[in-house]
């Protein structure tokens, strides 16, 4: 029905070339400590300009470690955007023609979107032209540069804010640090200049802060554990169910869907924690980007908690310029749908992402209509409806083709198989505890569910974990001795997984 997306090729390209992930030993044991000690040593020598240049150089090395061929791309993008943004500041002082400024803004935004479109959507466009016209044009085969979606959106926001007169005139080194600061470079958050520039300029950022070091390592350890011990475990069942190609029974399909639901949650949550933790070592507080979204009681609240900075960007630079909710109800619904369809497409060149975005746009419309009737659901029912909607929508987000999505959804609705004889269970050979756990639970669970006992055991634990305070809430006050010991244990377990297994790619590096 829909052409298969190219996310698989992109994923493999990143996995093959980019080795220094946040959860890799190269990052934890080499890059991060070296960058930290040199940065503060230069500051102690009263060389703040050199320390800032060092941080930019380290961040560019971090980016180029994936593929040095794309280093000129990010450098060229920064030079062009900095030149345009700086011209707005100079032109305001000279009271330059507003028409010329608007034209320059249009050129800058178009150039950024054109760059993103070429690298991210050229193959997708050619593939769909071939499908629609029956043509056989050769696909360009372009590899998606790492982080292009994030640093492009970040710089578009900078241009628009500069045009509005909301930025100061910065030197290029400060601007380069704003764009390339390695904790947020690869997968966000999408930061504003006003959030970062004052922190980099503060004298307090130049001095070693032992409280920030402690809190940074604490939250980094929590994020590491989420990624390598939880998310990567769920990936076993998610990959087998979505990519295995076999029919799924009721319990197998729900194990697959919920496994991906929690894989993505702990993968992205773990990344956000590690990004905040790494930045805190340098006395920089990144904006909160992930705030327990599975606690949401409606879809609007979900988007206030999930990928918060992307939601903010879409609201400020797309939804509001389209008219927001200032016009008719029908226009508001159109604006919601258009914003989330484009937000879905931002995640990747696939009709499945577009469909996922349309589902969430439709969910927001339905939520708005329901609220207009003034009959809110009880909290438990509201949470369940929201969680199930999000989980079902993730099926389209994850599936490579519509056939894969329908295969999983069909199994989720296959009530006839719920208590019958199960099809072969998802393999647990990659789990040391899978076999004995299945044997223990086999006598207590329905036949179909017992075949997937390890997955459902992990899912039950995941529900308990997401009901607790998140890492950001834990560092809002000084962790006590017990929490500190717990953080150290989680970090140690995370390091064990990191050193014992091959590092896996963060899911959001694909987008």
Distance CA 501, CA 231 (A): 14
Q: What's the token pair of residue 484? A: 């500190």
448-to-6, 254, 257, 409, 418 alpha-carbon distances in Å: 34, 11, 16, 17, 6
CB atoms within 10 A of CB 195: 15
H, E, C per residue of 305-364: HCCHHHHHHHHHHHHCCCCCCCCCHHHHHHHHHHHHHHHHHHHCCCHHHHHHHHHHHHHH
CA angle 379, 380, 385 (to 5 degrees): 100
Q: What is the DSSP string of 37-82?
A: HHHHHHHHTT-HHHHHHHHHHHHHHHHHTT-GGGHHHHHHHHHHHH
H, E, C per residue of 384-412: HHHHHHHHHHHHHHHCCCHHHHHHHHHHH
Q: Is 347 assigned a catalytic role? A: yes
CB atoms within 10 A of CB 441: 16
**By the 8 A CB rule, do 281 and 212 touch?**
yes
Q: List, in sequence order, the alpha helices (H) in 164-249.
A: 172-180, 182-185, 193-201, 210-225, 232-243
H, E, C per residue of 73-97: HHHHHHHHHHHHHHHHHHHHHCCCC
Q: What's the token pair of residue 245? A: 């190609």
**By the 8 A CB rule, do 54 and 182 touch?**
no
**By the 8 A CB rule, do 337 and 362 touch?**
yes
Catalytic pick among 193, 307, 347, 452: 347
Which residues are tagged catalytic?
347
């Amino acid at each position: 029905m829909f052409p298969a997306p190219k996310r698989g090729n992109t994923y493999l390209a990143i996995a093959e070339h980019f080795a220094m992930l946040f959860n890799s030993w190269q990052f934890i044991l080499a890059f991060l400590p070296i960058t930290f000690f040199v940065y503060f040593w230069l500051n102690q020598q009263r060389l703040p300009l050199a320390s800032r240049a060092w941080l930019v150089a380290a961040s560019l090395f971090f980016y180029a470690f994936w593929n040095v061929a794309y280093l000129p791309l990010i450098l060229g993008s920064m030079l062009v955007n900095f030149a345009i943004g700086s011209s707005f500041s100079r032109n305001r002082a000279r009271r330059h023609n507003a028409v010329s400024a608007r034209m320059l803004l249009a050129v800058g935004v178009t150039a950024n979107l054109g760059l993103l479109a070429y690298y991210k959507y050229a193959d997708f466009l050619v593939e769909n032209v071939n499908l629609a016209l029956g043509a056989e044009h050769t696909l360009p085969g372009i590899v998606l540069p790492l982080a292009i979606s994030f640093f492009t959106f970040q710089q578009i926001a900078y241009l628009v804010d500069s045009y509005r007169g909301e930025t100061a005139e910065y030197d290029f080194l400060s601007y380069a640090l704003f764009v390339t600061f390695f904790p947020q470079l690869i997968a966000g958050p999408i930061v504003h200049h006003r959030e970062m520039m004052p922190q980099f300029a503060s004298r307090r950022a130049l001095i070693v802060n032992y409280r920030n070091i402690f809190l940074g390592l604490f939250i980094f350890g929590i994020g590491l554990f989420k990624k390598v011990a939880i998310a990567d475990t769920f990936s076993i069942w998610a990959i087998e169910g979505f990519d295995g190609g076999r029919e799924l029974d009721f319990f197998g399909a729900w194990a697959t869907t919920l496994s991906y639901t929690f894989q993505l949650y702990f993968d992205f949550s773990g990344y956000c924690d590690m990004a905040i933790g790494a930045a805190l070592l340098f006395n920089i507080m990144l904006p909160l980007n992930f705030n327990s979204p599975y606690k949401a009681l409606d879809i609007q609240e979900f988007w206030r908690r999930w990928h918060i900075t992307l939601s903010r960007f879409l609201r400020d630079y797309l939804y509001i310029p389209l008219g927001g909710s200032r016009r008719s109800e029908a226009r508001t619904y159109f604006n919601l749908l258009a914003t989330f369809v484009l937000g879905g497409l931002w995640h990747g060149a696939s009709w499945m992402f577009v469909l996922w975005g349309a589902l969430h746009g439709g969910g927001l419309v339905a939520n708005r209509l329901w609220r207009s009737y003034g009959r809110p659901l009880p909290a438990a029912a509201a949470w369940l409806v929201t969680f199930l909607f999000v989980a079902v929508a993730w099926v389209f987000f994850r599936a490579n083709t519509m056939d894969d999505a329908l295969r999983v959804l069909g199994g989720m609705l296959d009530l006839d198989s719920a208590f019958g004889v199960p099809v072969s269970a998802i393999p647990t050979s990659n789990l040391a505890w899978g076999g004995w756990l299945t044997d223990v639970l086999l006598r207590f669970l329905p036949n179909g569910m017992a075949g997937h006992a390890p997955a459902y055991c992990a899912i039950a634990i995941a529900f308990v974990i997401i009901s607790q305070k998140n890492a950001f809430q834990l560092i809002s006050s000084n962790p006590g001795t017990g929490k500190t010991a717990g953080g150290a244990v989680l970090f140690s377990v995370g390091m064990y997984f990191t050193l014992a297994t091959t590092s896996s790619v963060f899911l959001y590096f694909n987008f």
